[in-house]
Amino acid sequence: MMRIVKDIMARRELLVMLVIRNLKIRYKDSSLGFLWTLLGPILMILIYAVFLRILRIEVALPVLVTGIFVWQYLAMCLGDSPNAIIGSTNLVKKAAFPRLMLPLSIVLANFINFLFSMVVVVVYVRVAGEPFGQLALLPVALITQVALCLGVSLILSSLNVFFRDVQHVIGLLSMAWFFVTPVIYDASLINKVSANPDTQFWLNFLFHLNPMTGLLALYRSALIGLPAPALYLVIPSVVISGLVCLAGVTVFMKFQGRFADEL
């Protein structure tokens, strides 16, 4: 692992160039360009505000907005990662550099977009009159989510080199993951599935094996002042995200030697 970090640091200029390239690609041929990083979140908040009022959905808008933008970072990485390797065929075949930098650059570019979106969310939360929460939790949430996104991106980008159907399956998997994550509903709803305490315990246990469940609780506690989640709810998210990242690095390093031949 340390050797990988040293190799990437030795070629950090290339990593910066790849991140900038990915940022430019997202807004290529757009009149407003990078301004959409700020305008997009603002327009999305307005849309959700209107439709929550029309549909009379019983969820606080700051809670929903925070969940949506946190989820979007993961969704962008899920959508972009399959093309991380196959979209840079010439680079993979002709240049000597750590291939891991390709999916890493996508995760970092999307992270920059996410940080700009977060600025809009923070401003909105203050305008809406919500108090700041425990901001010390924010770095934990950010690092954990970056690790999760990187691990997933490494796995998907590797698999898509050998099985091109992966990019078509991701949309379905992303939708399923979204609905088992408390983005548009409260996590306490899981207790209403059954009145049996033992069943509730196991449902909650399974529910919190989803690393995004604890991550959303951390973000909401940090940004909008909701009560800090219990450690036993957060630890699974941190541990599982770390394991996914480690698994992603392991899978990627095992198969990267065959990328050029497959491409």
Domain boundaries, the chain: 2-262
Q: Which of 16-20, 126-130, 193-197 has the highest mean pLDDT?
A: 16-20
- The rounded distance, in Å, linking the Cα atoms of 173 and 54 is 30
Cβ neighbours of 161 (radius 10 Å): 22
5 has pLDDT over 80? no
**pLDDT tens-digit series, residues 115-144:** 888 888 888 788 877 777 788 889 999 999
Confidence of residue 84 (pLDDT cuts 50, 70, 90): confident
- Average pLDDT value for the chain: 82
**Higher pLDDT, residue 70 or 64:** 70
pLDDT for the residue numbered 171: 84
pLDDT band at 238 (very low <50, low <70, confident <90, very high): very high
Question: What is the model's pLDDT at position 174?
Answer: 87
Other Cβ atoms closer than 10 A to 253 = 17
